[in-house]
Copies of this chain bind each other. A is one copy, B any other.
Amino acid sequence: MSNQKSSFTFSVTARSGEARRGILTTGHGDVETPAFMPVATQGTVKTLTQRQVEELGATIVLANTYHLMLRPGADRVASLGGLHGMMAWDKPILTDSGGFQVASLAALRRIDDEAVTFRSHLDGSLHALSPETAVAIQEKLGSDIAMVLDECVVYPSERAQVQRAAARTLAWARRCRAAHRRADQALFGIVQGGVDEDLRRESARSLVELDFPGYGIGGLAVGEPKELTRAMTEVSTQELPEERPRYLMGAGTPRDLVESVARGVDMFDCVLPTRNARNGTLFTSRGKLAIKNARYTDDPDPLDPECTCYTCVHFSRAYIRHLFVAKEATARTLNTLHNLHFYLELMRRIRKSIEDDRYEAFSHELEEIDNPI
């Protein structure tokens, strides 16, 4: 078994209620938490260069094992210097296990205790992902943080099904832990248990006994009501050790992030800022803005008058709308720069308000982020 602590540490440096301010150290540098990880699905944050991602202040990105194992392939990534070398990104990278996207994207999925077997959505080729291969692939990708293979159930599901998936996830976590070799890569466990409080507590407790260097909170933001997401997030963090980072997988809206930090979450990833950007939906301090709306045709204001990103410092809504309507790729780049800046700036403000021990007040000040404008 690897000695993961050789290059991975986490420490909580301040608290405000349940919200935690921390620092995560990896072989590729530090990550101030709470942190948001822009999604670089296929080895790039869509529409951006790595230089732009770095200039935005991102200190860690997430890449998707499912996509990368199919194309360009884990061995190819390894031969190109791992994800860091291939992408020329020398800061931390987290990879998911591939399990979630197998469930959502692949065809003909069959799951048993041994592995999940599926056909590629690209060419129909047959693949299997077992706990051991999920670890081996992520070791080839060379991420700083890898995730165990888990089974995620849809919402709603029968309790028995949720229980079976949680049990399998635990068994797989054990196998992943045993298979993991890279000392320069931390392997996180994943809490499952659906929206059943008892199952979730049980999943978390059993996982904690395996002593992972960090924990994902999985199986949420899959269609359940927000109140359940938040309750289950809280239940999960309550069972997780204080001194280990908690990563709420796949969340979420700016409000989701703020509420989850209040419940003790340290790390996030979500396609929302980047996907919305490409669709022309911008996050602003006053709420969401749909740039294709005709009301912006002559609007000389920036997307968000309070924003300091490259896009807002230089360009008007009218110009961005023009580029968007004219289908110029530059519009999607400018929108992505803005939305990621919004998320990363939100995290900076979250971290500051925890340091200042005024997180609850800060959360209330952010009412407008939920509105459409």
- Interface residues, chain A, CB within 8 Å of chain B? 42-51, 67, 71-72, 76, 79-80, 86-88, 297-298, 300, 310, 314-316, 318-319, 322-323, 325-326, 328-330, 332-334, 337
Ranked nearest first, the 8 interchain pairs of A and B with the lowest CB-CB distance are A88-B314, A72-B322, A44-B330, A47-B329, A42-B326, A86-B319, A44-B328, A80-B318
Contacts of A315 in B (CB 8 A): 88
Complex-state Cα separation, A297 to B318, whole angstroms: 41
Known: A76-B298, A322-B42, A322-B71. Contact between A330 and B47, CB under 8 A? Answer: yes
A332 — which chain B residues lie within 8 A by C-beta? 329
Q: In the docked arrangement, what's the CA distance between A280 and B125, Å? A: 26
**Minimal beta-carbon separation of A315 from chain B (angstroms):** 6
Check B72 against A330 for contact (C-beta < 8 Å). Answer: no
> CB distance A72 to B318 under 8 Å?
yes
How far apart sit A43 and B324, CA to CA, in the bound complex (Å)?
12
Question: Which chain B residues border A325 with CB–CB below 8 Å?
Answer: 71
State the CA gap A72–B325 with chains docked (Å): 9
Chain B residue nearest in CB terms to A44: B330
Contact of A333 among B49, B300, B310 (CB under 8 A): B49
Q: Which residues of B contact A322 (CB under 8 A)?
A: 42-43, 71-72, 76
